[in-house]
């Protein structure tokens, strides 16, 4: 009962959020208003049934508001304001839905928000119109305690305007003092007073060096982003919605399996045995495919969340940024999706906060005043690529190199761009001194990198000065079943993920050399470090003569290496199982493996962790 | 010429503030060494501006500010704070102080703080 309520309400809430974010740009169409009205109405009804008064009251107030604008199509409303207000309703409900899972759940207090909606409804009815202003203040040098001065300014303006946001955000933090000294104090207000009135009031501020009040026009909306409704919100996490067609196929396969089983059960099969066996094999393949496809969910749900992330942060810091979404129907394993949210939010916040310049800076560079972020997903060679591009200032190569040198991460500034940019994934690396609260302090891309690695992905960073930055993540299509290349080493057999194997060759095509005290394989004029698998794992009876062995060219996080094995056997589908934790502590050599699998003959084989080798 | 009442428990501070104000064209009409005297003198002298020290015996600056604001909502009171008194200053701003200066005064301390204002 609760599960169903949560699931259904979550879906409605996600739908609502989507409409609100869309309409903020385009204005409410009649359909939108009806849709929002219906959703509010449904949530009101079902939460009432569940005895959830606060949600019920809240949605009731929102329903009233939308009923009013539905019945009075000519009334003027500010899309941005409505979105702000109703998104807070959405947030409140989301928060409640998450909290409901706990046994000691108590309803949150929505009275304040209810009042606000009622007031807003009244003000719309009266036709009051508020304008938005951006105020930029500099204090005299040596004025001191700038954060408290900023606080005083807000206190002065408070009774005639609503304060939307401030930069810096947290005036209680002493660090804000330096920020105000350097960049001034910026805040956004909404007021029905005019520019001059606001100026004349702020003019009396002590130690005021300069004051700038500008009306913020409603941002022009050029691009419209359409996203299909999908699942996924935190409390709906363990559900996957499945296309009915897929379930039908699943049922068909199970039906055929039953027939295949009864065929094989016959004792008088004779020549027909092979046919029946092949049939069964085909069924299991199909079964595997369909189950895998059910595990796959489109990235649209998580992409859609980013719309909100960009919007909230951009508004807060007074930037105008368009998020363009491409390929949101691209499907990824559910398990990867679950781990993708956090790093993606981090990357997007970085782009909004540090990547994209403010409007003035952009203008002087000859760029469009509003910034753009492209969030894209597509399939490429058995992998899913998820990439975030921004058209901001790009990474500062010199500062990264400087910092890396001082941290001792590199010994010479003369390294290629891609390696420079990858340095920012190093733990504790951050070149931003004024890290804002939202982007986190001191932790940055290293956390993103770890999270992506945990989800089985890879990360690449590209950047051009004043043109932008691209963060490109690659994930395997699925984590549970992969193609593996079996290799033999002495008495053992190991598996290398097929995705990593670029080439298999013998010493006939290559030569051995030593460079920097290390054995290297020279293949077509390229040098690759050599890893003797038998040596590394101390395997009994491995082939020590490299000229009798086979070599695999394998790519990993850091580049390409040559792995020397006795024989490469075959390629097959394998089911990936984790290595039990206690075994890892017992046998340190197991650290060279990422997982294990159980073969058709019942034997366990270890899967090589190609990133463990350099 | 704008009239000023200086409130500070240290005679040295009162003197340096007086000198700075006079140099910049203000008329100092009175001085008070604690909050109680300040409220009394404010009512008596009705100055345009008050500079108010925060830490004082017999009614501190914050209490004096509140007492004066209660009697005259339009009073222009400027707090004189030391570094580290952020919380007190915040409280003062919320209670109606028009601004504050921080001691020890850095260069050009009271010369230009309210140059654009009609009030000052």
* pLDDT tens-digit readout, A457-488: 888 888 888 888 899 998 877 666 778 899 99
Question: Cα-flanking dihedrals φ and ψ of residue A102, to 5°?
Answer: -75, 145
Our count of domains for chain B comes to 1
Partner B contacted by A3 (CB < 8 A): no
Return the residue of A nearest to B116 by Cα: A203
Which pLDDT score, from 0 to 100, does residue A265 have?
A: 73
- Within B52-116, residue ranges assigned H as helices are 61-71, 86-94
Q: Which of A152, A203, A211 sits opposite B99 (nearest CB)?
A: A152
Question: What residues of B are in contact with residue A143 (Cβ under 8 Å)?
Answer: 102, 113
Residues of chain B numbered 20-79 and touching chain A (CB < 8 Å): 78
- Distance from the Cα of B12 to chain A's closest Cα (Å) equals 22
Partner B contacted by A152 (CB < 8 A): yes
Question: Cα-flanking dihedrals φ and ψ of residue A570, to 5°?
Answer: -160, 175
The 3-state DSSP class for residue B30 equals strand
Question: What residues of A are in contact with residue B112 (Cβ under 8 Å)?
Answer: 140, 207
Question: What residues of A are in contact with residue B65 (Cβ under 8 Å)?
Answer: none
Decide if pLDDT at A135 tops 60.
Answer: yes
The 3-state DSSP class for residue A204 equals coil
Question: What residues of B are in contact with residue A142 (Cβ under 8 Å)?
Answer: 106-108
The more confident residue out of A409 and A585 is A409
Cβ contact A152–B119 (<8 Å): no
Which pLDDT score, from 0 to 100, does residue A238 have?
A: 59
CA atoms of B27 and B18, how far apart (whole Å): 9
Best mutation target among B93, B98, B120 (most A Cβ atoms within 10 Å) is: B93
User: Which residue, among B62, B17, B21, B71, has the nearest Cα to B43 in the 3D structure?
Assistant: B71
Which pLDDT score, from 0 to 100, does residue B44 have?
A: 94
Q: Which of A286-300, A435-449, A468-482 has the lowest mean pLDDT?
A: A435-449
Helices (H) and strands (E) in chain A, counts: 18, 22
Cβ contact A145–B93 (<8 Å): no
Low-confidence ranges of chain B (pLDDT < 70): 106-120
Which pLDDT score, from 0 to 100, does residue B62 have?
A: 93
* pLDDT (mean) for A593-597: 82
Instruction: Report percent pLDDT > 90 for chain B.
Output: 48
Partner A contacted by B98 (CB < 8 A): yes
Which pLDDT score, from 0 to 100, does residue A430 have?
A: 61
Instruction: Report percent pLDDT > 70 for chain A.
Output: 92
Q: Which of B93, B98, B106 sits opposite A142 (nearest CB)?
A: B106
Please calculate the CA angle B53-B54-B57 and round it to the nearest 5 degrees: 95
CA atoms of A495 and A50, how far apart (whole Å): 53
| pTM (predicted TM-score) | 0.47
Partner A contacted by B89 (CB < 8 A): yes
Task: Using CA atoms of A454, A458, A463, A467 in order, give the dihedral in degrees to the nearest 10.
Answer: -90
Residues of chain A numbered 153-212 and touching chain B (CB < 8 Å): 155, 203-208, 211
Question: What residues of B are in contact with residue A205 (Cβ under 8 Å)?
Answer: 99, 117
* Contact by Cβ (8 Å): A390, A405: no
Decide if pLDDT at A219 tops 80.
Answer: no
B118 domain-assigned: no
Partner A contacted by B114 (CB < 8 A): yes
Confidence of residue A428 (pLDDT cuts 50, 70, 90): low
Partner B contacted by A264 (CB < 8 A): no
Cβ contact B90–A148 (<8 Å): yes
Q: Which of A211-225, A294-308, A489-503, A510-524 has the lowest mean pLDDT?
A: A211-225
The more confident residue out of A585 and A342 is A342
Cβ contact B81–A204 (<8 Å): no
What does R_g of chain A's alpha carbons equal in angstroms? 30
Burial class (CB in 10 A: 0-12, 13-18, 19+), A191: middle
Locate A505 and state its tokens: 């060759």
User: Which residue, among A176, A170, A184, A179, has the nearest Cα to A212 in the 3D structure?
Assistant: A184
CATH classification of the domain holding B17:
3.40.50.2300
CA atoms of A290 and A148, how far apart (whole Å): 62
B119 domain-assigned: no
Decide if pLDDT at A309 tops 80.
Answer: yes
Average per-residue pLDDT for chain A: 82
* pLDDT (mean) for A552-573: 87
DSSP character at residue A227? -
Burial class (CB in 10 A: 0-12, 13-18, 19+), A393: buried
Q: Which domain holds residue B49?
A: 3-111
B84 domain-assigned: yes
The ipTM (two decimal places) reads 0.83
């Amino acid at each position: 009962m609760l599960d169903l309520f949560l699931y259904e309400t979550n879906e409605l809430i996600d739908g609502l959020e989507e409409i609100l974010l869309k309409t903020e740009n385009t204005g409410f169409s009649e359909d939108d208003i009806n849709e929002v009205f219906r959703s509010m109405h449904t949530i009101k009804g079902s939460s009432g049934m569940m005895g959830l008064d606060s949600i019920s009251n809240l949605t009731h107030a929102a329903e009233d508001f939308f009923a009013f604008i539905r019945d009075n199509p000519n009334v003027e409303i500010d899309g941005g304001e409505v979105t702000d207000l109703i998104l807070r309703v959405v947030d409140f409900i989301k928060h409640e839905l998450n909290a409901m899972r706990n046994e000691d759940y108590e309803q949150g207090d929505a009275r304040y928000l209810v009042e606000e909606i009622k007031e807003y409804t009244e003000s719309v009815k009266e036709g009051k119109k508020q304008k938005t202003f951006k105020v930029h203040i500099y204090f005299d040098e040596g004025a001191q305690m700038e954060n408290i001065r900023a606080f005083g300014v807000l206190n002065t303006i408070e009774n005639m305007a609503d304060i939307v946001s401030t930069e810096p955000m947290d005036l209680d933090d002493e660090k804000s003092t330096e920020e105000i000294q350097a960049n001034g104090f910026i805040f956004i207000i909404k007021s029905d007073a005019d520019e001059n009135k606001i100026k004349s009031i702020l003019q009396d501020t002590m130690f005021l060096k300069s004051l700038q009040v500008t009306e913020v026009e409603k941002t022009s909306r050029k691009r419209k982003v359409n996203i299909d409704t999908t699942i996924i919100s935190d409390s709906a996490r363990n559900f996957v919605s499945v296309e009915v067609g897929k379930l039908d196929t699943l049922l068909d396969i199970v039906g055929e399996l039953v027939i295949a089983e009864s065929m094989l059960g016959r004792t008088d099969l004779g020549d027909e045995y092979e046919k029946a066996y092949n049939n069964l094999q085909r069924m299991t393949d199909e079964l595997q495919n369909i189950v895998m496809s059910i595990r796959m969910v489109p990235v649209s749900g998580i992409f859609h969340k980013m719309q909100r992330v960009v919007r909230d942060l951009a508004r807060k810091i007074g930037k105008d940024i368009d998020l363009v979404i491409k390929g949101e129907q691209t499907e990824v394993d559910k398990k990867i999706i679950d781990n993708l949210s956090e790093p993606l939010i981090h990357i997007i916040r970085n782009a909004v906060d540090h990547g994209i310049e403010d409007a003035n800076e952009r203008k002087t560079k000859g760029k469009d005043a509003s910034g753009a972020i492209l969030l894209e997903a597509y399939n490429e060679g058995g992998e899913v690529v998820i990439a975030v591009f921004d058209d901001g200032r790009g990474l500062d190569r010199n500062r990264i190199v400087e910092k890396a040198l001082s941290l001792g991460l590199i010994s010479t500034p003369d390294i290629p761009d891609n390696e420079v940019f990858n340095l920012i994934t190093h733990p504790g690396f951050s070149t931003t001194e004024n890290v804002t609260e939202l982007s986190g302090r001191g932790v940055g891309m290293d956390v993103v990198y770890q999270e992506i690695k945990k989800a089985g992905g890879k990360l690449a960073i590209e950047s051009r000065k004043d043109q932008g930055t691209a963060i490109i993540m690659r994930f395997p299509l699925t984590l549970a079943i992969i193609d593996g290349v079996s290799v033999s080493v002495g008495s053992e057999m190991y598996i290398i993920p097929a995705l990593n194997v670029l080439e298999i060759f013998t010493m006939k095509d290559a030569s051995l050399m030593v460079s920097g005290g290390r054995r290297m394989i020279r293949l077509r004029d390229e040098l690759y470090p050599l890893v003797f698998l038998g040596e590394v794992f101390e395997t009994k009876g491995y082939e020590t003569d490299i000229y009798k062995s086979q070599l695999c060219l394998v790519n990993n996080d850091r580049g390409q290496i040559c792995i020397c094995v006795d024989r490469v056997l075959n390629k097959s589908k394998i089911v990936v199982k984790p290595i039990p934790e206690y075994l890892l502590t017992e046998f340190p050599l197991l650290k060279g493996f990422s997982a294990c699998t159980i073969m058709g003959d019942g034997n366990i084989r270890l899967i090589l962790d190609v990133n463990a080798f350099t | 010429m704008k009239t000023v009442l200086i409130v500070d428990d240290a005679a040295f501070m009162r003197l340096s503030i007086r000198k700075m104000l006079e140099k910049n064209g203000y008329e100092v009409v009175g001085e008070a060494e604690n909050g109680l005297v300040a409220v009394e003198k404010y009512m008596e002298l009705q100055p345009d501006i008050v500079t108010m020290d925060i830490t004082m015996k017999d009614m501190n600056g914050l209490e004096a500010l509140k007492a004066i604001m209660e009697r005259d909502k339009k009073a222009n009171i400027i707090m004189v704070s030391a570094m580290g008194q952020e919380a007190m200053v915040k409280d003062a701003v919320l209670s109606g102080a028009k601004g504050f200066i921080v001691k020890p005064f850095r260069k050009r301390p009271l010369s230009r703080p309210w140059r654009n204002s009609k009030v000052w």
